[in-house]
Amino acid sequence: MQQLTYADVVVAAERIADHVVHTPLLRNAMLDTLTGGTILLKAEPLQRTGSFKFRGATNAVLQLTPAQKAAGVVTHSSGNHGQALACAAAAAGVAATVHMPSDAPSIKVESTRGWGATIVAFDRATTDREALGRDWAARTGTTLIPPFDHPHVIAGQGSVALELIADAAALGLVMDDLLVCTGGGGLIAGCALAASGASPNTVVHPVEPVGWDDTTRSLAAGERLENAPGGSGLCDALLARMPGELTFSINREILGAGVAVTDADVLAAMAFAFQRLKLVVEPGGAVGLAAVLSGKFDARNKVVGVVLSGGNVDPATFARAVGPTSPA
């Protein structure tokens, strides 16, 4: 496996700078009061395709050879990476095939199709999506660009933290901690590599839904562990079976302790983001905010960065969070 470093993240950030949105750092006085800390929010719902995934997908597509571009790309995704790869591929004139779970949110399916990708549905419960992608690439000659366990994807995602660290510094602030939503671990691996060089005293923590806390449990065990079946599907963007091989090789060395949040915590955070920040944040993108709002991460007297990773949420799920009976 390619050994990634801080330098790889810096090069990736430079490569994609003209293609991605430098999303804003947001502050909220009420949030600081409620948590007792200084909370710095990274608003990736405002990124192209509505999530951070566009960064890694773009970094990977920009490094394809002419022959690879001609053959096309393939991936497996619950939605955000699929949209991102479809968009990045379309911009480069590359055909994309995206394998998506049959129960993926319709907003993510339609967006992916809207960028011109061919969508192939699969059963989330019975299909090994990693094997599905590998087999398809082998049969068709397309290039597999997986959603997290890929060096170019990881390096591109790390640009999230580079921007946040630089914007915090412009305010005279250094983060004590950075909370990053974690599924397969690509975003947090890239962010942790970025922090290791740009803000080495910042501790980077994975935040996961209860029942899908494979990274937290794997860090404690020192080896990759799977999630048990039957967990809630609310945070659809974070439902990886287990940490990636490459991502875990990075994360096991440099991450701080993990945090797990409940569905109620997540829905309350989504409502807060809408009502107080005027942001639409999807469930998986809201887990970091849920951690500080619920007190499951103690932010008192600290400067804490929180990545709001995406905003692609089905209307029914969003209504569940922000409707008359919402928990916020």
**Any bridge partners for residue 121, and if so which?**
100
Encoded tokens for 78: 């619950």
Q: What are phi and psi of 97, to 5 degrees?
A: -115, 130
Quote the CA–CA distance of 88 and 57 in Å, as a whole number: 6
Quote the CA–CA distance of 8 and 116 in Å, as a whole number: 30
Q: Is 199 a catalytic residue?
A: no
Length of the chain: 328
DSSP 51: B
Would the CA dihedral through 298, 266, 191, 222 be positive or negative?
positive
Three-state secondary structure call for residue 50: helix
Quote the CA–CA distance of 163 and 180 in Å, as a whole number: 14
Quote the CA–CA distance of 243 and 322 in Å, as a whole number: 31
Three-state secondary structure call for residue 298: coil
Rounded to 5°, angle at Cα 318 from 316 and 320: 70
Quote the CA–CA distance of 304 and 296 in Å, as a whole number: 13
Of the listed 53, 77, 78, 159, which one is catalytic? 53
Q: Is 296 a catalytic residue?
A: no
Dihedral through CA 225, CA 286, CA 257, CA 159, nearest 10? 90
Three-state secondary structure call for residue 273: helix
Of the listed 51, 77, 199, 309, which one is catalytic? 309
Contact indicator for 88, 77 with CB cutoff of 8 Å: no
Quote the CA–CA distance of 91 and 58 in Å, as a whole number: 9
Contact indicator for 20, 48 with CB cutoff of 8 Å: yes
The residues annotated with a catalytic role in the active site are 53, 309
